[in-house]
Amino acid sequence: MYKSLEEICREAKRRNKEFWELILEDDCEERQVERESSFAAMLGMYQAMKEADASYEAERYSSSKLVGSDGAKLHEAVKNKQTICGDFLGTVMEKAVKMGESNACMKRIVAAPTAGACGVVPAVFLSMQEAYGYTDEKMVQALYVAAGIGGVIASRAFIAGAQGGCQAEIGSASSMAAGGAVFLRGGGEEAIVHAAAMAMKNLLGLACDPVAGLVEVPCVKRNVVGAVNALSSADMALAGIRSKIPPDEVIDAMRSVGLELPSCIRETGMGGLAATPTGIRIREEISGRTEK
Amino acid sequence: MNIFDIIGPVMVGPSSSHTAGAVKIGQIGRKLLGERVKKADIYLHGSFLATGKGHGTDKALVAGLLGMAVDDKRIPASFEIAGQEGLEFSFHSIVLQDAHPNSVKMLLWGESGKETEMVAASIGGGRIRVCEIDGLKANFYGDLPTLVVRNQDKPGHVVKVTSLLGEKGINIATMQLYRDIRGGHAVMVIELDQEIPEGFLDWLKEQEGIEKVTYLSQEEKDYV
């Protein structure tokens, strides 16, 4: 996998190839597979995202009962034209919550890059396909863009909340989705990596503080912020706005911030929201239930 | 790591470490046993114990023992399916010394009476590590064909095994040696680039001083 977004941009220019194509070729090299086979595997990921979105169950709650049915509430709000954010962003939010809830309810999802952040990329991608009518082929190309960005983040920093806090999960997912969204709207390599950088910058320092240690509160709703932030970052980049700090340096900053985060806010369920009186009460109720 | 670790895997939620990793540990336990699991005593440690229930770690481990993949939609129903397929299981708590927070110890019995004991950890992003087999240290990730040979700690065993692997054209990726005490039990853990041919395991088992041979194949078998 590439270790630098700058290097991807340089290679794209030098070899006159698109961002997604470089990532595809790199995958073929790394796993020793044909282009068709790599592309088919990525299409499989996109189809699995679609299936997960379509198979949301409004009545289903997680085993802790902490999350469930919120996607259906957003669906109603969007349908009745009640959202301040409008139809498009309303749909993005709805899909993000639905996927996060499906994950918490032990349904089948696509980790992107993690299970906790699985709602961000599909919320952005599926909503954009519905709104703009892109082909599946184009969507798969965008997934390569997202994967390329995520690969650089995983190489330079981390994508696990236990290592770098939520910025490493929702932050990375948001960065990946932002780059993919720019590609879909016809932005070039530079705009792609700057959208990724801006999305990451906006979420630097985000704590991983799940109540009772479960991938539920606040994880499900954080998928919304990741998705919406990806789109606003993409729009900024498409408008010509650039990150003053170069994209690779932003990722390095995410790593250094992650290393400085105390362990209580790195997926231990000991700090932040998990350590509030209500968070502690919920944890005790759940462990009481488990003992019985 | 490759790009399908970034976009992917397709998995049943909610956690790559506590759910998908747990399924993989179960699968590896089943493959190490090399036959259908009849009975499993499962000991959860650390975070697996504390938050395992909410993450479906228990269901995921049983699903893996039944041979399900990480994206199998039947994972949440694995307890019922275990009942139908005659897999008897029980969960316990344990404190393992110096273990990764997401660790589990499993005692497994197969339908022909084979037994295996293993300790494994889910180390993040769905990746796992086998830490102990039959009470002796091991250290492998389960993503390559892996041969685990337990023998008496005497000269000559390593060369016997490795030279035959060489003769069969099988390349060794990594190799580790452990023992409990001098002259006691030793174990070699050999990760391979190719699957070993039929008959190799039987030949190995008959060799003097070899106590037990366990093989983790990457080929899917349903042991029916």
The secondary structure of A18-35 as a DSSP string is: -HHHHHHHHHHHHHT--H
What was the pLDDT predicted at A291?
55
Q: Which class is domain B3-133?
A: alpha beta
Give helix A170-184 / helix A120-132 axis angle, nearest 10°: 20
Distance CA A196, CA A141 (A): 16
Whether the full predicted model's pTM is greater than 0.95, yes or no, is no
What was the pLDDT predicted at A33?
94
Kind and range of the H or E element at A202?
helix A189-203
Partners of B175 in beta bridges: B190
Residue A279 backbone class (left: φ over 0; alpha: ψ -120 to 50; beta: rest) = alpha
Distance CA A221, CA B131 (A): 36
Residue B51 contacts residue A214 (beta carbons within 8 Å):
yes
Regarding an ipTM greater than 0.90, the answer is: yes
Per-residue pLDDT of chain A (292 residues; tens, 9 = 90+): 999 999 999 999 999 999 999 999 999 999 889 999 999 999 999 999 999 999 999 999 999 999 999 999 999 999 999 999 999 999 999 999 999 999 999 999 999 999 999 999 999 999 999 999 999 999 999 999 999 999 999 999 999 898 899 999 999 999 999 999 999 999 999 999 999 999 999 999 999 999 999 999 999 999 999 999 999 999 999 999 999 999 999 999 999 999 999 999 998 889 999 999 999 999 999 877 755 4
CATH of B146-216, one of 3.90.45.10, 3.30.2270.10, 3.30.450.40, 3.30.70.260: 3.30.70.260
Residue B127 backbone class (left: φ over 0; alpha: ψ -120 to 50; beta: rest) = beta
Partners of B214 in beta bridges: B148
Summarised one tens digit per residue, pLDDT across range B136-177 is 889 999 989 999 999 999 999 999 999 999 999 999 999 999
pLDDT for B125 beyond 80: no
Summarised one tens digit per residue, pLDDT across range B16-25 is 989 999 999 9
Q: Do A154 and B8 touch (CB under 8 A)?
A: no
Residue of A nearest to B126 (CA): A114
Q: Shortest CA distance to B128 belongs to which of B144, B114, B116? A: B144
Instruction: Say yes or no: A64 contacts chain B, CB-CB below 8 A.
Output: yes
What was the pLDDT predicted at A290?
58
| HSE value, Cβ hemisphere, 13 Å, CA-based, for A138 | 15
Domains of chain A: which residue ranges?
Answer: 5-291
How far is the CA of A172 from the CAs of A27, A196, B55, B86, B180, in angstroms?
20, 9, 22, 43, 44
Instruction: Say yes or no: A203 contacts chain B, CB-CB below 8 A.
Output: no
What was the pLDDT predicted at B218?
86
Distance CA B89, CA B63 (A): 11
Q: Do A115 and B124 touch (CB under 8 A)?
A: no
How many CB atoms are closer than 10 A to CB A50?
16
Give helix A189-203 / helix A170-184 axis angle, nearest 10°: 150
**Burial class of A277 by CB neighbour count within 10 A (0 to 12, 13 to 18, 19+):** exposed
How far is the CA of B192 from the CAs of B137, B176, B202, B205, in angstroms?
19, 12, 18, 18
Instruction: Say yes or no: B4 contacts chain A, CB-CB below 8 A.
Output: yes
Residue B45 contacts residue B105 (beta carbons within 8 Å):
yes
Better-scored residue on pLDDT, B205 or A287: B205
Question: Which of B1, B2, B11 has the CB atom closest to A109's CB atom?
Answer: B11
Band (B116; pLDDT cuts 50, 70, 90): very high
What was the pLDDT predicted at B127?
86
Q: Do A107 and B10 touch (CB under 8 A)?
A: no
Distance CA B105, CA B111 (A): 20
Where helices occur in chain B by DSSP H, the ranges are 3-6, 21-33, 46-55, 57-65, 78-85, 157-167, 200-206
Domains of chain B: which residue ranges?
Answer: 3-133, 146-216
What was the pLDDT predicted at B222?
64
Spatial CB neighbours of A17, under 8 Å, sequence gap ≥ 6 = A11, A25
Instruction: Say yes or no: B56 contacts chain A, CB-CB below 8 A.
Output: yes
What was the pLDDT predicted at A287?
79
Better-scored residue on pLDDT, B125 or A183: A183
| DSSP, res B92 | E
Residues in A closer than 8 angstroms to B12, CB to CB, are 106-109
